[in-house]
């Protein structure tokens, strides 16, 4: 089945927030942010701005009727800065005008004086100065201190990974409309309507039931609208509440890039010990997370880093420590993978360096340490339904790993200025929110008396196809034509206390809640059918493709008639389904538990060709086997796999998020921040879903798809590194990302001390290659 959104998307008929018909008297907000990264506000003069043509109001922290606090985990984030500023772009003043242009025109009439203070941009510096958001946490398994003496080889190193911009097509936006009795309807481009509802209620100082949040769909989210959409919605609600007028805010691209959060940069130290055969005996790592100026979701993201620090490998002795460090940069936030990729990147670098030290291919070390059924993770949970080795073997059988490596070696022997690199990337990713209370979802299903069906859930459609999966689950449960089913907007008045659509749980939890609601209605319909057909309790009644069957034989009773007759006999045709993921728990005092419903596995092999004269590269192919359980919609899942793959590749290759020492974002436009495009796409992408891998722990035996394939992008990074090593076998590439063409070129033509060669003319020998 195709995604039913595809046709209106293609025609341009799909409605996003900025497409909603604007109410009469709509006002617009312009946000004035801090121009420096750290300082004390000494003077704030807004009087001249109030007189600018079209300006209706100029609002500051003093105008907030409720709490000037929007921190969701740790209360350390004001909606509008009051006494001090902590990062460039931090909102200070809201200008409300009849048009966006008039609001922006007033900016020059606002006078802000700030006494500048030293800014911290490095997480290691922040840690040394005691600027941490929460205490360090450590996961421990085995006896690491005792295990070092048993190792044949010990390798240490430092790994740095930069952040990543979400660059969703639809920028942050919201619109609020006052309603009767002091209430507010908020249209928000958010992954978490309940978070918006709670934040708005807090800022306005009114109960949540007076706030209705509605979301049709997002033009992309990737985690950037899980928590940070709340502030922009609260700003519109604040202005609407004070002025009693509808108010809208839509950031332009530059504002969004400067003011919104990104993937967390990490700086990490590792130490790994192995025996002579490549078996990992012990691993220690320290993660310094650059959390930005406020907590946001950093502590939860850091927790997932801890949980995924060993990726898909069994390591009997490990000590994994992480600390969230406060810097004067924009608050970093959720991003696809939620801290998992940063942890996996470090263990893959550790294996890469171990491969060089032991002279054993990295993929052999990877294979020899893959998880097996029942192996414990550092956090205590034992792996169940382990597909790690199955995915590896299936990929090797389908794609011939040895053949791919051999072909690359032969190419490299024949070519001087072009080199091929190959890398294998296996993965293991846990599915569930690490905050256990979030693992719950609700659904509201109505069957109307004409046989049509309405489904409301807490799931947010942001291009990943979750609405299509909700539609399919309802249609399949009732065994009716999918055209009969409509998926409604996500609305806090229909489904309350929703969890964010994040952590790859959207289809799992909301789908299960939908299925429960449908089964509840179906049980009543089947009992009604039994009465209509005059059958006793021993008869087996079921619906197949809109026809009622009795004891395996079709009757004359069809879906339409059954629903109509059931309605007239006063059968309840609505149900509210509720699902809470069972058997998950985590004890933070012991750092042990079973935080995941299940794990997703997979293996990819990536080949890259490097132009050693220009420093540019192309990806010849990505071939992977992915564990998706029993896919609800293979076409959607394949699209998600390919999209996540490309986004992961972009993070570690092209996407260079750069801040200067004063905390200013240097890549603050779409022309200075490079993301993958069609030309970057590998020449060949093969996606094979592992067969006969039903998952009993999720709806319809499926598995989550949103985040896990992102990790395959890590393999693309090492494919390029291996190509560089083929050109410069005696040099070590610094363990940092992204591996941009500029960094590649600098590495290829610098000496071992990092000094760039002045000439590459003639037959000059450089790093073992003849030019």
Q: Which residues are known to be catalytic?
A: 707
Longest dimension (CA), the chain: 95
From residue 745, alpha-carbon distances to 612, 649, 733 in Å are 7, 19, 11
* 43 touches 111 (CB < 8 A): yes
- Whether 192 and 462 have beta carbons less than 8 Å apart is answered as no
Instruction: Point out which residues pair with 292 in neighbouring strands.
Output: 326
541 torsion bin: left (phi>0), alpha (psi -120 to 50), beta (else): beta
Nearest to 512 by CA among 474, 542, 548, 547: 474
Q: Report the distance separating Cα 188 and Cα 200, nearest Å.
A: 11
The whole-angstrom separation of Cα 299 and Cα 325 is 10
Q: At what angle do helices 634-652 and 340-358 cross, to 10 degrees?
A: 70
Q: Residue 98 and residue 54: Cα distance in Å, rounded?
A: 5
Residue 595 · residue 434 · CB < 8 Å:
yes
| Cα–Cα distance list, 146 to 139, 141, 273, 282 (Å) | 17, 12, 12, 9
Q: What are phi and psi of 57, to 5 degrees?
A: -160, 155
For 642, the enclosing helix (H) or strand (E) is: helix 634-652
Which helix (DSSP H) or strand (DSSP E) does residue 292 occupy?
A: strand 280-292
Burial state string for 165-202 with b = 16 or more CB within 10 A and e = fewer than 16: bbbbebbbbbbbbbeeeebbbbbbbbbbbbbbbbbbbb
């Amino acid at each position: 089945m195709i995604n039913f959104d595809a046709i209106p998307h293609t025609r341009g008929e799909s409605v996003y927030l900025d497409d909603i018909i604007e109410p009469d008297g709509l006002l617009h907000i312009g946000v004035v942010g801090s121009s420096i990264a750290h300082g004390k506000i000494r003077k704030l003069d807004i009087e001249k701005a109030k007189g600018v043509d079209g300006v209706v109001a100029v609002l500051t922290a003093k105008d907030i009727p409720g709490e000037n606090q929007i921190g969701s985990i740790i209360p350390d984030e004001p909606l509008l800065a009051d006494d001090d500023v902590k990062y460039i772009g931090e909102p200070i003043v809201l200008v409300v005008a009849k048009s966006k242009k008039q609001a922006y025109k007033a900016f020059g009439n606002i006078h802000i004086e700030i006494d500048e203070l030293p800014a911290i941009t490095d997480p290691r510096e922040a840690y040394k100065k005691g600027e941490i958001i929460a205490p360090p946490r450590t996961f421990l398994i085995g006896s690491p201190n005792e295990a070092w003496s048993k190792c044949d080889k010990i390798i240490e190193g430092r790994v740095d990974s930069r952040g990543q911009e979400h660059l969703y097509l639809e920028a942050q936006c919201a619109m609020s409309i006052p309603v009767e009795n002091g209430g507010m309807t908020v249209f928000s481009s958010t992954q978490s309507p309940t978070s918006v509802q709670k934040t708005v209620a807090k800022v306005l100082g009114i109960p949540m039931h007076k706030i209705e949040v509605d979301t049709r769909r997002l033009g992309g989210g990737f985690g950037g609208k899980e928590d940070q959409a709340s502030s922009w919605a609260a700003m519109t609600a604040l202005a609407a509440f004070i002025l009693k007028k509808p108010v809208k805010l839509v950031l332009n691209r530059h504002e969004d890039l400067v003011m919104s959060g990104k993937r967390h940069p990490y700086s990490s130290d590792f130490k790994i010990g192995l025996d002579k055969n490549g078996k990992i005996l012990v691993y220690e790592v320290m993660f310094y997370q650059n959390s930005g100026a406020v907590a946001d979701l950093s502590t939860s993201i850091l927790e997932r880093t801890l949980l995924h620090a060993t990726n898909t490998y069994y390591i009997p002795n490990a000590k994994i420590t992480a600390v969230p460090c406060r810097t004067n940069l924009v608050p970093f936030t959720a991003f696809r993978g939620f801290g998992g990729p940063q942890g996996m990147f470090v263990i893959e670098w550790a294996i890469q360096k171990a491969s060089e030290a032991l002279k054993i291919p990295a993929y052999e070390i990877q294979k020899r340490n893959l998880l097996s059924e029942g192996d414990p993770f550092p956090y205590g949970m034992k792996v169940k339904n382990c597909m790690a080795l199955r995915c590896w073997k299936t990929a090797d059988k389908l794609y011939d790993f040895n053949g791919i490596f051999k072909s690359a070696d032969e190419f490299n022997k024949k070519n001087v200025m072009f080199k091929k690199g190959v890398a294998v990337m296996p993965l293991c990713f846990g599915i569930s929110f690490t905050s256990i209370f979030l693992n719950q979802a609700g659904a509201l299903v109505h069957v109307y008396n004409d046989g049509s069906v309405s489904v409301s859930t807490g799931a947010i459609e942001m291009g990943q196809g979750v609405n299509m999966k909700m539609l399919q689950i309802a249609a399949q449960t009732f065994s009716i034509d999918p055209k009969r089913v409509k998926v409604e907007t996500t609305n806090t008045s229909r489904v309350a206390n929703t969890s964010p659509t994040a952590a790859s749980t959207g289809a799992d939890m909301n789908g299960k809640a939908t299925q429960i609601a449908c089964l509840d209605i179906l049980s009543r319909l089947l009992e009604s059918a039994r009465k209509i057909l005059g059958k006793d309790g021993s008869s087996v009644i079921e619906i197949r493709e809109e026809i009622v069957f009795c004891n395996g034989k079709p009757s004359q009773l069809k879906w339409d008639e059954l629903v109509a007759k059931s309605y007239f006999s006063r059968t309840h045709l609505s149900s509210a389904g509720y699902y809470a993921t069972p058997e998950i728990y985590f004890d933070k005092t012991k750092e042990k538990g079973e935080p995941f419903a299940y794990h997703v596995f997979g293996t990819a092999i990536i080949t890259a060709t490097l132009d050693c004269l220009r420093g540019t590269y192309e990806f010849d192919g990505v071939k992977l086997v992915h564990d998706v359980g029993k896919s609800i919609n293979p076409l959607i899942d394949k699209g998600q796999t390919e999209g996540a793959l490309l986004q992961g590749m972009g993070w570690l290759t092209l996407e260079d998020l750069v801040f200067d020492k004063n905390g200013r974002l240097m890549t603050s436009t779409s022309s200075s921040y490079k993301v993958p495009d069609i030309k970057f796409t590998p020449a060949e992408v093969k996606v094979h879903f592992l067969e006969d891998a039903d998952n009993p722990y999720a709806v319809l035996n499926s598995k989550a798809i949103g985040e896990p394939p992102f990790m395959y992008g890590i393999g693309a990074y090492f494919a390029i590194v291996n190509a560089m090593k083929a050109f410069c076998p005696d040099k070590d590439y610094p363990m940092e990302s992204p591996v941009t063409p500029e960094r590649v070129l600098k590495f290829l033509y610098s000496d071992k001390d990092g000094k760039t060669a002045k000439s590459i003319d003639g037959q000059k020998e450089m790093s073992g290659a003849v030019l």
